[in-house]
Structure 1
Amino acid sequence: MTAETILFIGIAGIFSLAVSVFMYGYKTKYKGMLRWVFGVLRFVTLFSVLLLLINPKFKTETYTVEKPKLPILIDNSASVVALNQKENVEALLKQLQENPDLNDRFDLSFFSFGNDFRGLDSLSFSEKNTNISKALASINELFKNETAPTVLISDGNQTLGADYAFSSATFKNQIFPIVLGDTTKHTDLAIEQLNTNRYAFLKNQFPIETILVYNGTGSANSQFIVKQGASVVYRKPVSFSETNNTQTISFTLPATSVGLQKYTAQLVALQDEKNTSNNVKQFAVEVIDQATNVLIVSSIVHPDVGALKKAIASNEQRTVLIKKPSEAAALLNDYQLVLLYQPDRSFSTVYSEIEKLKKNTFVITGLETDWNFLNNIQKNYSKEITNQTEDVSGILNVNYGTFAVDDLAFEAMRPLKTLFGALEITVPHEVLLEQSVDGFSSETPMLATMELNGVRNAIWDGEGLWKWRAQSFLNDNSFETFDNFTGKLVQYLASNKRRSRLEVSNETFYYNNNPIKISAQYFDQNFVFDSRASLSINVTNSETKERITFPLLLKNNFYEVDLNSLNAGSYLFTVSVNDQTVARSGSFTILDFNVEQQFLNADVAKLQYIANTSNGATYFVSQVDQLMSDLTKDNRYQQIQKSEQKVIPLIDWKYLLAIIVLSLTAEWFMRKYNGLI
């Protein structure tokens, strides 16, 4: 407390004493003990009131010692077991947890990673993928403002995400990898990569490309075989040497029957080969009888047209052709969907043929659109004609129920260009994207779908869609999100299938190291999406007859279930609505492919690279004691003493108020008891 505060307290005490003495010690009518009691109570009351007004405070200072952080990342993927490192990891973990010097110097925290990054609970070594880049980036974000050298216990083999070696320059703290796995090189043949289409058309040839790799000394001879069931459909002898250790084989196979066709590619193992699991790969191709044909009609050259073609054709079930209006009218009968890009008067013949053939259409408008022509040629929608332009963004309608849609963060996308004015749709429709200007909704549709007399149509008012496709790549390092969104829209528009109250969407086959998801939409009697329904899926293994039931979880405007817990095999499923008689059935196949079993050695080079880049060091399992010693002696990681100064009141105001109330109450009762009131 300051001297000024002490002086005020002294003055308050003297003043309270003087007033009490004057009232009850000088010319008082009270006698004996009564005046002493009243005097003391009055002194307490006055002194407490004055203390409450002065509010004396004093400072306290506490000291704490803050240890540097030491996050420890542990590889929980199946490759740890494949490289016979499970026991080593468990022993390492125990050593780090129980080392007294390390725990005295650092604040240890433990994390595991595989597909995802999470705090360490237990180790199963069953994760189907390894994403080292995500784990390191998460640690970098968690401890971005702290001293936190990172211990990475891993074999360095990454199967998912960005290459962690290239992103290591952004890590702010040092990385100390502990290398798991045998660094000795063994003779090994492997199918490094196999590329094929997911779909093929009946009576066509579908291409296959495979990359074969040899690690070893001397030369080796083997055979590359592709089987369908027990039948060999392709065979080729292959030879390798130390200098010629890679071969790329390209060939085609015939699509002879409709449905899912499963194949096994095999590189015959050498006699002394240690790891043979990477010699075999399963793949599948779904043979379909007919493609979905989409015709894009445009009279102008625009990057949107190319972006739309790429997005639609990313699904191999669809073929896309771009034509000018003068060439398109005669071709319409061969296409399920006609995409009209920025129509003008040259589209007159095309619109006449569309009306005659009752074709589904997808119209995209922009700055080059002739709205005079478009307003007159069709009656579904119209727009007032202006010569002004504006930049517009999209807002997803989360209640859109025609088909399942994921939010691509539309509001954060680059604005599209359109002509100023409100778009009015005069037929029953659903708005998928609502137009917004500078973050405010204009209550005008940007993208809407409509169905009238069995014909489906959509209008997207805005040009510059190529920017959205490019933005999706910048966000996710892939065009997949935008292409999937466009694909769902095209799938709906290209189909004339009657709408059902329960729509189920699934792939015919999945690889078990990729997400296995099935989605569904349920509508009420008025075909309005019902978000209150309870859906479940009953999955039956075709071989073992084992049945498992999973709930479907609500996600925006659809329900979804993740089936990654299922083993490889063929399955039948039924999606049903609880307490309803509505259900849909289907089938899918999960192909066995464990990418974590494809590795024979640890990737020491990459682990050493990130250690050197971050000014850390690399250690092997046998050197863990050296690691702990180096960390505890490293002068870069010092404990920091922090002082914290607090200003607190001498007496809490709550206690002072309580004392005042108690003293006044006691005085009142004393007076009442003695008949003085």
Structure 2
Amino acid sequence: MQTETITYIFISGIIALSLALFQYAYKAKLKGRRAWLLSALRFVTYFSIFLLLINPKFDKVTYYNEKPNLVVAVDNSESISYLDQAKNTSDLIKSLKANEALNENFNLEFYRFGKEINPTDSLSFDEKQSNLALIFERLSEVHNNSISPTLIISDGNQTYGNDYAYMTKRYKQSIFPIILGDTTTYTDIKVQQLNVNRYAYLKNKFPVEVIATYNGNATVNTQLRVSAGNTIVFSKPLTFSKSQTSQIVNFTLPATRVGVTSYKAQVVPLENEKNTINNVKNFAVEVIDQKTNVAIVSDLLHPDLGTLKKSIESNEQRNADILSTVEFLNKSADYQLVIVYQPTNNFRALFNEIEKLKLNKIVITGTKTNWSLLNQLQNNYKQELTNQTEEYQPSLNQNYSTFIVDDLNFGEFPPLKGAFGETSFVVPFETILYKTINGNQIDEPLFATFEINDKREALILGEGLWRWRAQAYINENSFNTFDDFIGKLVQYLSTNKRRTRLNVNYESFYNGNDNVRITSQFFNKNYIFEDNANLDITLKNKDTDDVKSYPFVLKNTAYEVDLSGLEAGNYSFTVTVNNENISKSGELKILDYNVEKQFLNANVTKLQALAINSEGTSYFIDNTSTLSYDLINDSRFATIQKSTKKVVPLIDWKYLLALIALSLATEWFIRKYNGLI
């Protein structure tokens, strides 16, 4: 309490006492104990009122105990069952939950993880992937400001995501790995990795790279065989020893027919080899007879050009060349799509050539664009000429229906820089992204598409796409989402096929551990997206003739069905729209591969290093008897007494009001009783 406040209280006490004595001892001429009692009651009333007016503030300190958290993350992948550790894991979880001393000293939190991480009370050990890095990424967002020792119950074998050995550097908690397995080593040969392009071109040869590894001490001989159906298309003898534990085999295979061809790469198992599943890896290649060539034409140097090339070529069915206007005119017949980047005075002949060949195009404008010329070269849109620039942030048009556009959190993307002024369209168009200025969306397109005279075109009214690709990587740790967005735009513009009311997007084949998701869009007769349609997919396994049906679920501006978990095999499917005579059919292949069954042992070395680097301790699942004792008696994880200090004003103290009321009531009663009223 401040000295000034204490002074006010002291003066208030003197004034209250003076007023009380003046009223009863001097003015009323009362004497004896009755005078002193009434003076005291009046003093209490005055002094309390003065205190409320001064309203002094007091510090209120409360104490409480804060227990540390004990985070338990359990590997829920199939490899745990495959290593016969499911029962041991479940028993350990039950013992942790039932341990009274542990629960008394910690707040226990249980999570399960596979490809994703979720809070859990039950385990199934059926997830197809294990992403240990995600544990530390997600938990660091929650527990970095608290004391939260972490138990990782896992075999340490990661099949998805970033390397968890590096991700733990961001996680500030002590880690206690519970190793599901032992240090026993077995003689084993496996196909460690197989590298092959997803697509090949008819009558060409495509490269394949197989990396085979060996774990053992003796010198052994085996053979690598690659087969298509019952035909062996490649074979090579391999020799391994204690000093030569891996071999890389490179070869090529011919692409002889259009479509998907499945292959099986196998290293012939050794005698008495325990795990023969990892000796085989299936792969497939889709043979196509043409490739989409895209010309990126610009007379400027800009990072957007490289960004567009990388995004387009992320799909192996497409090729992109960065050309000047002169270079394009010399080989214009080689391309199916042209990206015109910031047209300047040299682009008049290029536009004439594009019109002559009836090519589709994307026009990207920016700060160097000659809009006066561009307004003359085409009649589809006009730009107001202001000679000023503006920065525009994107906002997704949820009703865009020409093709499926996923929301990449466009609102968080950096702005594109373009010409200031209104862009007016003469032809019907659809907006993919609206312009947003200072957080306010305006009814003007930033990205737009339109169709005119059997040609398709897109207009992008700003430069700086390279920042978008970088932002997509920051958000997702991958360029895939942005590349897919550009890929869908290129796919739409690289063909002039007639628009259909039902569109289905899918891959020709999926690896065994891939997410099998099929998306569809359905439009009414005016080609407006229908968000209340009922779509079903009927799936037939061509190997077993088993038929199943699944409904699609609406997600933003598309319908989606998740077929992950299907058995490996060849499937035909038909997507139908209920109450409409519209359907679309196709075929897909799911390859037989389970990455979780490729391991014979726990990754003991990596888990033990994880414990050492985080100042924790590692335990084997068969030797966790001291785990509870070690955690409870670790001084780093002691319960901490904390205090909270709260400044409380006197006016909030309700008892003072009660005291004033009681004092006034008592004074009134005494005066009434003695006939002084």
* TM class, shorter-length: 0.7 to 0.9
Contact 1:307 1:465 in 2 (8 A): yes
Q: Distance in 2 between matches of 1:527 and 1:344?
A: 36
Name the SS of the counterpart of 1:615 in structure 2: coil
Q: Which residue is 1:548 aligned to? A: 548
In the TM superposition, what whole-angstrom CA distance separates every residue of 1:406-457 from its partner, at most 9, and x where no partner exists?
1122222222222222222211100111122232234321110000121101
State the alpha-carbon separation in 1 of the partners of residues 361 and 63 from structure 2: 73
Letter of the structure 2 residue corresponding to residue 277 of structure 1: I
User: Is 1:535 matched up with 2:535?
Assistant: yes
| Residues 532-589 of structure 1 deviation map (CA, whole Å, 9 limit, x = unaligned) | 2222222222222222222222222111111113221122222222222222121211
Partner of 1:28: none
Q: Secondary structure at the match of 2:194?
A: strand
User: What residue number does 1:168 align with?
Assistant: 168
- Aligned-partner Cα distance in 1 for 2:60–2:344: 79
| Corresponding residue SS for 2:590 | strand
Aligned to 1:265: 265
Helix, strand or coil for the counterpart of 1:528? coil
**Residue 62 of structure 1: CA displacement?**
8.5
Q: Deviations over 1:614-654 (max 9, x none)?
A: 21111111221111111121122222456789999879x9x
Does the 8 Å CA contact 2:136/2:170 hold for their aligned counterparts?
A: no
Report deviation, 1:206: 1.0
Q: Contact 2:632–2:638 at 8 Å: present in 1 too?
A: no
Post-superposition CA distance 1:339-385 (Å, at most 9, x none):
11122232222211222222111111112222122111110112122
1:490 is matched by which residue type in structure 2?
A: V
1:117-128 pair list within 5 angstroms: 117-128=117-128
Distance in structure 2 (CA, Å) of the matches to 1:170 and 1:353: 55
- For 1:386 and 1:207, locate their aligned partners in 2 and report how far apart those are by CA, in whole Å: 54
Is the CA contact 1:83–1:182 (under 8 Å) kept in the aligned structure 2? no
**Partners of 2:292 and 2:318 within 8 A in 1:** yes
Distance in 1 (alpha carbons) for counterparts of 2:462 and 2:238: 54
Q: Does 1:206 align with 2:206?
A: yes
Q: CA, structure 1 residues 345+112, in 2 after alignment: closer, same or farther (shift >3 Å)?
A: same
User: 1:137 maps to what in 2?
Assistant: 137
Query: Could you say if the C-alpha distance between residues 314 and 59 of structure 1 is closer, same or farther in structure 2, counting changes exceeding 3 Å?
Result: closer
Unaligned runs of 5+ in 1: 8-53, 654-677
For residues 244-274 of structure 1, the C-alpha deviation after alignment (integer angstroms, 9 at most, x for no partner) is: 2121111111000111100000011111322
Native 8 Å contact 2:63 2:641 kept in 1: yes
Alignment partners' CA distance in 2, 1:78 and 1:503: 35
Question: How far 1:392 moved relative to its partner?
Answer: 2.1
Q: State which drifts further: 327-336 or 215-224.
A: 327-336
Find the counterpart in structure 2 of residue 244 from structure 1. 244
Deviation at 1:601, TM superposition (A): 1.6
The residue number in structure 2 matching 1:324 is: 324
Matching residue's letter, 1:464: G
1:130 maps to a residue whose letter is S
1:514 and 1:195 map into 2 onto residues whose CA distance is: 16
Given that 1:535 and 1:575 are in contact with CA atoms closer than 8 Å, whether structure 2 keeps it comes out as yes
* Residue 483 of structure 1: aligned partner: 483
The equivalent residue for 1:156 is 156
Instruction: Provide the residue aligned with 1:525 in structure 2.
Output: 525
What does 1:334-373 correspond to in 2, within 5 Å? 334-373=334-373
What is aligned with 1:599? 599
Matched residues in 2 for 1:378 and 1:643: separation? 72
2:419 maps to: 419
CA deviation after TM superposition for structure 1 residue 331, in Å: 2.9
Q: 1:419 & 1:242 partners in 2: Cα distance?
A: 67
Secondary structure of the 2:628 match is helix
Distance in 2 separating the partners of 1:247 and 1:460: 49
Q: Distance in 1 between matches of 2:437 and 2:242?
A: 63
* 1:294 and 1:320 in contact (8 A); partners too: yes
Corresponding residue for residue 181 of structure 1: 181
In structure 1, distance between residues paired with 2:170 and 2:645: 36
CA distance in 1, matches of 2:211, 2:155: 23
Q: What is the alpha-carbon distance in structure 1 between the residues aligned to residue 576 and residue 158 of structure 2?
A: 39
Measured after TM superposition, the shift of residue 207 of structure 1 is 1.0
Q: Does the CA contact (< 8 Å) of 1:114 and 1:131 recur in 2?
A: yes
Alpha-carbon distance in 2 for matches of 1:471, 1:215: 42
Output one character per residue of 1:302-336: Cα deviation in whole Å (capped at 9) or x when no partner: 22222111111111111223322223235333322
The superposition leaves residues 139-187 of structure 1 with CA deviations (integer Å, 9 ceiling, x where unpaired) of 3323333222111100111111121111212212211101111322221
Letter of the aligned partner of 1:593 in structure 2? Y
Q: Which amino acid is 1:614 matched to?
A: S
Residue type at the aligned position of 1:194: L
Residue 567 (str. 1) matches residue 567 (str. 2): yes
Alpha carbons 2:182, 2:620 under 8 Å: kept:
no
Q: Which residue of 1 aligns with 2:456?
A: 456
Q: Which residue of 1 aligns with 2:671?
A: none
What one-letter code is carried by the residue in structure 1 that aligns with 2:121? D
- Between stretches 301-310 and 522-531, larger displacement belongs to 301-310
Alpha-carbon distance between aligned partners in 2 of 1:67 and 1:156, rounded to the nearest angstrom: 29
8 Å contact from structure 2 (residues 351, 377) kept in 1: yes
Distance 1:264 1:320 in 2: 32
Distance of 1:367 and 1:643 partners within structure 2 = 59
**Partners of 1:108 and 1:420 in 2: CA distance:** 57
- Judged with a 3 Å threshold, the aligned counterparts in structure 2 of structure 1 residues 243 and 430 are, in CA distance, closer, same or farther, namely same
Per mean C-alpha deviation after superposition, the further-off stretch among 499-508 and 632-641 is 632-641
Residue 198 (structure 1) shift: 0.8
Q: % of aligned pairs identical?
A: 49
Aligned mates of 2:399, 2:622 — CA distance in 1: 58
Residue 195 of structure 1: SS of its match in structure 2? Answer: strand
1:246 and 1:172 map into 2 onto residues whose CA distance is 37
Give the match's secondary structure for 1:446. Answer: strand
Equivalent-residue separation in structure 1 for 2:653 and 2:380 (angstroms): 74
What SS class does the counterpart of residue 450 from structure 1 fall into?
strand
* Contact persistence 1:332–1:338 (CA under 8 A): no
Task: Give 1:503 deviation, angstroms.
Answer: 0.6
User: What do residues 268-312 of structure 1 show as CA deviations (whole Å, max 9, x unaligned)?
Assistant: 111132211111000000111211222222222322222111111
Correspondence 1:269-348 to 2 at 5 A: 269-348=269-348
> Could you tell me which amino acid in structure 1 is paired with residue 318 of structure 2?
R
Asked if the contact 1:573–1:587 (Cα under 8 Å) also holds between the matched residues in 2, the reply is yes
The two structures have a TM-score, normalised by structure 1, of 0.85
- Between the aligned partners of 1:596 and 1:92, the Cα distance in structure 2 is 22
Corresponding residue for residue 17 of structure 2: none
Which letter maps to 2:180? Answer: L
In the alignment, the residues of structure 1 paired with residue 548 and residue 188 of structure 2 have an alpha-carbon distance, to the nearest angstrom, of: 40
TM-superposed CA distance for 1:61, in Å, is 9.8
Q: Secondary structure at the match of 1:636?
A: helix
User: Whole-Å Cα distance in 2 between the matches of residues 170 and 378 of structure 1?
Assistant: 54
Q: Could you say which residue in structure 2 is the equivalent of 1:668?
A: none
> What's the CA shift for 1:64?
5.7
C-alpha offsets along residues 180-239 of structure 1, whole Å, 9 cap, x if unaligned?
113222211111111111111111111111211111113222111100001000111111
CA distance in 2, matches of 1:386, 1:249: 62
Q: CA RMSD in A?
A: 3.0
> In the alignment, residue 123 of structure 1 is paired with which amino acid?
L
Size of the aligned set, in residue pairs, is 613
Match of 1:12 in 2: none
What secondary structure is seen at the aligned counterpart in 2 of 1:548? strand
Aligned residue for 1:47? none
The amino acid that maps onto 2:185 is K
Q: Helix, strand or coil: the match of 1:560?
A: strand
Aligned to 1:41: none
